[in-house]
Amino acid sequence: MQNVPEEWREEQSVGGGGDKDVKPWEGREALFQRNTGNSKQDMSTGVEKENGEMMNGGGKGMEGTDKESLMMELTRLVQKTVKESSWWERRGIDITILALAFLLLPPAFLLLGSSQTLVFVLGMVLMGVSHAVITIKGTHLASHGSLSESPTWADVWAVFFIEVCGSFAARAGVTGHIKMHHAHTNVIGLGDSSTWKIPYLPRGVYLFIAPLAVPVITPLVALGQLKEHSMGQALRTVLMVFLGLYAQYWLLIHVSGFQCLYSTLLCMLLSRAMFSLPYIHVNIFQHIGLPMFSPTRRPKRIYQMTHGVLNLPRNPLLDWIFGHSLINCHVEHHLFPFLSDNMCLKVKPIVSQYLKEKELPYQEDSYLSRLQLFFHKYQELMVFAPPITELVGVQ
């Protein structure tokens, strides 16, 4: 267990999320404004300046000190890089990757109609890769509004990627990810990644078998979220999720030539579950097991993110399929959540060098190392609640 120095701490009142919706594009303008200090965003537990400093109650008394200006200084460095970057760097590269994923779908459906085993397997792999890029990388970027500068189009892409492609409710996904996970990263009871924990499952089942059920569980969870939606939003979600699932089913029947209901559904399950294991692993590896914070006395944002977030090393497969912000630039993503995957990669040297110069943590670990840690300390990390002091965690 670690204690937070008093100058790092910030008193915060804990409030519920309320009924205010969080749009996927809200707040990202910070990196494109010349005066970031004047832009503010309501984050439900307080007001978050767009320079990244959480201001509420006790934090105000120390405004202007060197410790408190770290996030502002880092933001200016990143903002300069973003302004000097072309549209291709800011959005074009990631949009192209998503477009290529969609272009892989026609040959995938055609190959799945082959009677030759190797050709059929190739079609299955292409469909699995395409689905993972679209539903993991695509939905993540869409939830942050990183695919378009237009708020209207950001909403459209969020519905398309999250509901049609990802079979989940866009409103619940955006609100839970941005308003809870990013606003309260590693804060006990708010953004502590406890939603990923299933304590009654044995470690072998949780780590290597249960993730295969993600394609089935996801739309069921989405249906459970509908009670918190308006009638119009709930109806839209049901229709969009049905459209996405039925479209794949129809194409497998009419393009790939599947004739059996069960074989068609099995193909859908296998293609959608192909990358479920690393998806679950990545989501727990990068937060759980790191310091957890008290909801009433959390450290300031830059300390919260540098202590509570971890990067995995570069991985050619997962970098392209999941996106840099979920793999090797997760620290950068939590500090600047509205940057695209490619921009997170571009500012990574700036962020890592700055944090090391300021003697702040820049946590990195390998996929295999984290898997071994969770396998051997499964009870401690995934079953028991972490102890709470000022700053707690198992590293």
| 266 or 15, higher pLDDT | 266
Q: Is residue 129 part of a domain?
A: yes
Give the integer Cα–Cα distance in Å for 209 and 340: 31
Find the range with the poorest average confidence among 64-78, 82-96, 303-317, 342-356.
64-78
* 370, 378 Cβ separation under 8 angstroms: no
pLDDT band at 199 (very low <50, low <70, confident <90, very high): confident
How close are the terminal C-alpha atoms of the chain, in Å?
9
Give the rounded percent of residues in the chain with a pLDDT score beyond 90.
66
Q: Is residue 357 part of a domain?
A: yes
Neighbours of 99 (CB within 10 A): 10
Q: Is residue 343 part of a domain?
A: yes
pLDDT band at 225 (very low <50, low <70, confident <90, very high): confident
Give the integer Cα–Cα distance in Å for 124 and 111: 8
User: For 3-31, how does the pLDDT look when each residue is reduced to its tens digit (9 = 90+)?
Assistant: 444 444 444 434 444 444 555 545 454 44
> SS3 breakdown of the chain: % helix, strand, coil, rounded to 5?
60, 5, 30
Pairing of strands 40-42, 297-299: unpaired
Q: Is residue 249 part of a domain?
A: yes
* 127, 108 Cβ separation under 8 angstroms: yes
Mean pLDDT over all residues of the chain? 83
Lookup result for tokens 């839970």? 176
Backbone angles phi, psi at 341, to 5 degrees: -60, -45
The pair of three-digit structure tokens given for residue 376, joined into one six-digit string: 């051997």
Residues in Cβ contact with 190 at an 8 Å cutoff, skipping those fewer than 6 apart? 14, 180, 183, 184, 295
pTM confidence score: 0.83
Q: Is residue 14 part of a domain?
A: no
Q: Is residue 277 part of a domain?
A: yes
| The pLDDT value given to residue 295 | 85
Best CA proximity match to 324, nearest among 339, 336, 342: 342
Give the integer Cα–Cα distance in Å for 34 and 52: 15
User: For 319-359, how does the pLDDT look when each residue is reduced to its tens digit (9 = 90+)?
Assistant: 999 999 999 999 999 999 999 999 999 999 999 999 999 99
Distances (CA, A) of 79 to 73, 176, 206, 209: 10, 26, 40, 43
Residue 42 has pLDDT above 60, yes or no: no
Number of domains in the chain: 1
Q: Which domain holds residue 249?
A: 71-383
- Residue 372: is it exposed, middle or buried by C-beta count within 10 angstroms (0-12/13-18/19+)? exposed
Q: Is residue 92 part of a domain?
A: yes
* 123, 114 Cβ separation under 8 angstroms: yes
Give the integer Cα–Cα distance in Å for 319 and 313: 9
Give the integer Cα–Cα distance in Å for 221 and 223: 5
Q: Is residue 140 part of a domain?
A: yes
Residues in Cβ contact with 156 at an 8 Å cutoff, skipping those fewer than 6 apart? none
Residue 156 has pLDDT above 70, yes or no: yes
